Structure 1
Amino acid sequence: MFIEQEYYLWKMVDYMVHVHQFQVLHVNTSHGEIWLEKKVNRKNHVLRLSHKQLNWRNELSRELETGYRQLNQNRSLFRGGKLEFHMVFVSEHPPVDEWEDTVKEYNDRKIPLHLYYMSDETKEQALEDLFKPLDIEKPEIHRSLREEDMEASLPSMKHQLVKKQREQREAAASIFDYGRPRLTYVLLAVNILVFLYLEMVGSTTSIETLISYGAKYNPAIMDGEWWRILTSTFLHIGFIHLFMNMLALYYLGSAVERIYGTLRFAVIYFAAGLFGGMASFMINPSVAAGASGAIFGLFGALLFFGVQYKQLFLRTMGYNLIVIIGINIAFGVMVPQVDNGAHIGGLIGGFTASAMVHLPKHAMKKWQPAAVLLYAGAMAAMVYLGMTGAFNGEQSRMVVQEVSELNEQESYSDVIQITTQALEEPQGYEAELLFHRSYAYLQSGESAEAEEDLEQVISIAPDLAEAHYNLALLLQQDGELEKAAERASKAAELNPDNADFQQLNEELAQ
């Protein structure tokens, strides 16, 4: 009766795979063991089916432990959703001693184990018990066929199952090999060439150079230079910035272009770059540049892929990708210089753009036009909010911080240019902007301009001791000792704990 048991097993598996689309994880035709999987009602059901005669309870216990250990060894293959493990044995007779409670010792384990022993007397009931949690109808498996007919049909069923496993694997592999990363290499080359050119004509760490060649600079954008939203994605601030972005582009771009194809990849990359750039314009008043927004858009594209192919995504890149995104966002929150607006905006833009174009070999979905409208509406809203300064109303405060850092870096010409433009709409930071510009003028040898700025600072903020002190130094240098002494005395009065202020005051008072 061995043939009858073997036929019953393979007929049951054939029904589950070809009628109800179970995933074939493993097939061993010689030993009669098959592993299947299917997600039902948010649970991953993994089945280990085999036909063998188990005569004693301890034999069954060893089989259960072996199957459970095999499942745990391949636990990473079954991410996403709660896991249910089903072990099915097809046999002519059950074990001769008591065996029904052998599964109880697995009740407290992390993964629930369900046992179905299909002996000749219990096949129909066990089959019904198995298919109930799988939410499928019980098939009619005819056991009245002649043994010769059963044996004749076995090779075909086994061959079809092995073929189905191969087809499923090839279909999964083809998802990651739809396109070739041609545009990714072009983008890498363009970004590197632009970086080298800027280093030849100036410096990629120079604010002045970056603004001149298309960095995201809000005042210029508000004057109509909207093209900066795009051109800024090809500029990078220093070698480390370029290296990190190009490394990410190489790996993420290759993956996304292989999955989506070149045309869809182009739409996703540039749509994400524009979305991230517009988010930066809305939120971040500082000068910004880099492909980070577009690169975060590639993260968004992979997340959209994960929504469409949940199990495949979680088995391959899923958790690692989510961790990397989390680390990058956390890093952006902790490091003030990171343009979080571009990063998060790019991530959202990339996900939305992926919904707009969808994945290859998918029919047009009714929500794709909705994704287009969502993208366009969000872009329009960001333009409006950026122009009205709803989120970056304290733009001048950011400029004050920026020029302070530039003065420390001795980039005095950049300070003069930025503060002069910011002073057109100082937003309550006129004294601070003038003070930093006066310092840049002073260090550039333009004493008259520095003195004029300091006079204005003192008229606006008479309690700013540093302005009195710097003006005293200038007046001393010009030989106007009486005026210098007056300013030095005021600085010492306002900040009596400053040794430099006290020393200059004593020197000019003699």
Structure 2
Amino acid sequence: MEMEQRYFFWKLAYDLVSRFDFEIIHLHLQREEVWLEKSSGGQSHVIRLLNKEFHWSNHVKADIEHVNRQLEKNKRYFSGRIKNIDLLYVAEHPTVDEFDSPSVKLAHNSNVIFLSDDNKERGLEQLAATNKLDHPPEINYKLPDAPLEYESTIEYMKHQLYSIRQKQQQKMREVFEYGKPRITYLLLIINLIIFYYLESVGSTTSISTLIEYGAKYNPGIIEGEWWRLISSMFLHIGVLHLLMNMLALFYLGTAVEQIYGSFRFTMIYFLAGILGSAASFYFNTSVAAGASGAIFGLFGALLYFAWRYPSLFFRTMGWNLIILVAINIVFGITVPQVDNSGHMGGLIGGFLAAQLVDLPKLSHRVYRTVSVALYALGLAVLLASGSGGDLKLTAADIQYLQELQEEERYEDMLDITESLEKTEGEWEDEYLFFRSYAYLQTGKENLAFDDLRKAVDIAPEFAEAHFNLSILYERRGNEKKAEYHQEKAEELNAELRNKDPERPASS
């Protein structure tokens, strides 16, 4: 009778794999234990088969507790949230005492099915119902008169299951070892070299240095400097920004390039980075730099991988990656300095780019056509809409003007001020002050005088503007006005020094 149970066990396992497309999660030939899974809609249907004779229900309960522990310990091996698990016990006889299912705490939505000789047909029908199979497995479990022939059949089915399992594991290895991370390492080196170079010629925290060497700067892009959409991906603002992005590039880039290969990885990286820069151009008027958009594109590529290989994705990186993406999004929302538009543009761009190039050995013409259309449409809308908007004054513009003033680049200061179309708002007084200084240094005193008058009208507490205006009134022979603005500047400076003793006076 043992031969009959063994034949039924291995035939059932083989039937579920070959005819019902279950995947082998675990296979133990000697213990005659098989774990199978079938995923659908992010949920897993799990079957655990065991060929063993249990005489008492307590032994079954102990085995179920063992299964619960195994499920908790190895839940990452399943491709999604476990919807139900069927525990199938193949045996000649049921337990001597009656098994009471409610008395056992089962993990997830579990079913205990005894496939004893007198319950095989009902058990298979229950199995079909819980897993929504079209029909129950049709297995002739009765042995004919030639047991040796069926012994060889058992060995054949065991061998076939073992071969299927080996092929599944080999396929997994091939997916993650398709390419080598050569481009990832090259990008790391390029970013480090550029960072070192910028530090040697200026400072990576200097707005003027960043803009001159290719940061995302909206006025420059509107004037035709489209290359900034790419060059900004290689600039970083300070050491911490560089280290965070390079660490992310190392880990994510290595994974994506190994999965997609170097050519596809390069396409994904740059297409994601460009769409991220375009989104930043449209939504964010500040100066921006960094590889974050392209790096979020690598997240997008892994999410596309999850879509095409859900079982393999959840078995390897799974929820860890999804949680990491969510943490980065929440971090971006809560930290004001983070360019969320660039991150989200990169994430979407990476997903579309991955769909465009597709995974190795996979190709779907419809997916590619849709991704090309969506990417092109998104890029066109972002760039066209961003280019058509007015250039508004930002804090970055003021900092840029200040740095140009410190470097005595007055003509450049005037070029910047002329490119700004809307200067009203929070920073208008400082904008007028810096422009007046550039006018003074370039011999345009009348224009400087008009700007300073406007500046003190907008911000009467602007001590530096009062001081410079007093000098111009003195040059014009208006001693009364000169004295008034001089006294006003000294009064404001005195108030500021009382609040901040280390503050220098205007000069």
Other-structure match for 1:105: 103
Residue 173 of structure 2 corresponds to residue 178 of structure 1: no
Query: Match for residue 239 of structure 1?
Result: 239
Q: CA deviation at 1:25?
A: 1.7
Amino acid at match of 2:226: W
SS of equivalent residue, structure 1 residue 215? coil
Aligned pairs for 1:200-219 (under 5 A) are 200-219=200-219
- CA gap 1:387/1:106 in 2 versus in 1, 3 angstroms: farther
Superposition CA RMSD, Å? 3.3
Q: Tell me, what secondary structure is at the counterpart of 2:50?
A: strand
Kindly indicate whether the alpha-carbon contact (under 8 Å) linking 1:37 and 1:45 is maintained by their aligned counterparts in 2: yes
SS at match of 1:285: coil
Secondary structure at 2:366 match in 1: coil
- The offset of 1:246, in angstroms, is 1.8
Matched, 1:32 2:29: no
Across the two proteins, how many residue pairs are aligned to each other? 493
The AA in structure 2 aligned to 1:134 is: N
Match of 2:481 in 1: 483
Shift of the 279–419 alpha-carbon distance from structure 1 to 2, 3 Å rule, reads: farther
SS at match of 1:145: coil
Once the two structures are TM-superposed, the CA of residue 463 in structure 1 deviates from its matched residue by 4.8
In structure 2, the residue corresponding to 1:86 is in which secondary structure?
strand
Measure, in 2, the Cα distance between the counterparts of 1:419 and 1:501.
Answer: 35
Q: CA deviation at 1:332?
A: 2.2
Change (3 A) 1:457 1:45: same
Residue in 2 that maps onto 1:278: 278
* 1:465 alignment counterpart: 460
1:352-371 correspondence runs (5 A): 352-371=352-371
Stretch deviating more after TM superposition (79-88 or 346-355): 79-88
Q: How far 1:473 sits from its partner (Å)?
A: 6.2
Q: Which digits, 9 at most, give the CA deviation of each residue in 1:13-46, with x for residues without a partner? A: 1111122222212222222211111124653122
- Once the two structures are superposed, the pairs formed by residues 334-345 of structure 1 within 5 Å of their partners are 334-345=334-345
User: Do the aligned partners of residues 243 and 416 (structure 1) sit closer, same or farther apart at CA in structure 2, a change above 3 Å counting?
Assistant: farther
Residue of structure 2 equivalent to 1:427:
422
Q: Judge which range, 69-78 or 257-266, deviates more.
A: 69-78
The 5 A counterparts of 1:224-235 are: 224-235=224-235
CA distance in 1, matches of 2:281, 2:441: 34
Change (3 A) 1:243 1:460: closer
Q: How far apart, CA to CA, are the structure 2 residues paired with 1:425 and 1:418?
A: 11
CA–CA distance in structure 2, aligned partners of residues 57 and 188 of structure 1: 61
Q: Deviation per CA, 1:417-457, whole angstroms, max 9, x where unpaired?
A: 45752344341428944634636987999598799646424
Matched residues in 1 for 2:233 and 2:465: separation?
A: 40
Relative to 1, partners in 2 of residues 1:466 and 1:387: Cα closer, same or farther, differing over 3 Å?
same
| 2:90 equivalent in structure 1 | 90
* Identity in percent: 39
Task: Report what 2:252 is aligned to.
Answer: 252
- What amino acid sits opposite 2:467 in the alignment? A
Equivalent in 95, 116, 121 of residue 119 of structure 1: 116
Contact 1:45 1:134 in 2 (8 A): yes
- Partners of 2:429 and 2:458 within 8 A in 1: no
- Partners of 2:41 and 2:421 lie apart in 1 by 59
Contact 2:404/2:412 (8 A) holds in 1: no
Contact 2:91–2:117 (CA under 8 A) maintained in structure 1: yes
The change in CA–CA distance for 1:481 and 1:435 in structure 2 (over 3 A counts) is: farther
The corresponding residue for 1:80 is 80
Task: Indicate the residue corresponding to 2:126 in structure 1.
Answer: 129
Question: In structure 2, how many angstroms separate the alpha carbons of the residues matched to 1:427 and 1:442?
Answer: 20
Q: 1:417 to 1:51 in 2, by over 3 A?
A: same
What amino acid is aligned across from residue 151 of structure 1 in structure 2? E
* 1:241-280 alpha-carbon deviations (Å, 9 max, x no partner): 2222222111111111111111111111111111111111
Distance 1:128 1:431 in 2: 74
Residue number in structure 2 paired with 1:293: 293
| Structure-1-length-normalised TM-score | 0.86
Which secondary structure does the structure 2 equivalent of 1:366 belong to?
helix
Flag the 1:333–1:52 CA change in 2: closer, same or farther, 3 A. Answer: closer
1:158 equivalent to 2:158? Answer: yes
Q: For residue 39 of structure 1, give the secondary structure of its aligned residue in structure 2.
A: strand
C-alpha separation in 1, matches of 2:163 and 2:59: 32
Q: Is the 8 A contact 2:46 2:86 kept in 1?
A: yes
Deviates more, 1:356-365 or 1:131-140: 131-140
Deviations, residues 192-248 of structure 1 (Å, cap 9, x unaligned)? 222223333333333223222222221121111212211222222233222222221
Distance 1:452 1:471, change over 3 A: farther
Give the corresponding residue for 2:504: none
Change (3 A) 1:460 1:471: closer
In 1: Cα distance, 2:31 partner to 2:233 partner: 58
Judging changes above 3 Å, is the alpha-carbon distance between structure 1 residues 151 and 463 closer, same or farther for their aligned structure 2 residues?
A: closer
Indicate the SS of the match to 1:225. Answer: coil
Describe the shift of the 1:374–1:165 C-alpha distance in structure 2 as closer, same or farther (beyond 3 A): same
Q: CA deviation at 1:410?
A: 8.8
Residues 318/481 of structure 1: CA separation in 2 closer, same or farther (3 Å cut): farther
Cα distance in 2 for partners of 1:150, 1:409 equals 88
One-letter code of the match for 2:165? Answer: Q
Q: Which residue of 1 aligns with 2:138?
A: 140
The letter for the 2-side match of 1:112 is N
Distance 1:106 1:443, change over 3 A: farther
How far is 1:402 from its partner?
Answer: 4.7
Please show how residues 320-359 of structure 1 align to structure 2 within 5 Å. 320-359=320-359
Between the aligned partners of 1:277 and 1:49, the Cα distance in structure 2 is 53
- Residue type of the partner of 1:105? S
Task: Name structure 2 gaps, 5 residues minimum.
Answer: 500-507
| Secondary structure in structure 1 of the residue aligned to 2:27 | strand
Whole-angstrom CA distance in 2 between matches of 1:316 and 1:423: 55
Q: How many angstroms apart in 2 are the aligned matches of 1:36 and 1:409?
A: 67
Q: 1:243 to 1:409 in 2, by over 3 A?
A: farther
* 1:459 positional shift: 3.4
- Whole-angstrom CA distance in 1 between matches of 2:253 and 2:493: 59
Q: Decide whether aligned partners of structure 1 residues 465 and 42 sit closer, same or farther in structure 2, where only a CA change above 3 A counts.
A: closer
More displaced stretch, 466-475 vs 118-127: 466-475
1:508 is aligned to none
Q: 1:397 aligns with which of 390, 393, 407?
A: 393
When residues 330 and 70 of structure 1 are mapped into structure 2, their CA distance, relative to the original with a 3 A threshold, is: closer
Deviation at 1:132, TM superposition (A): 2.4
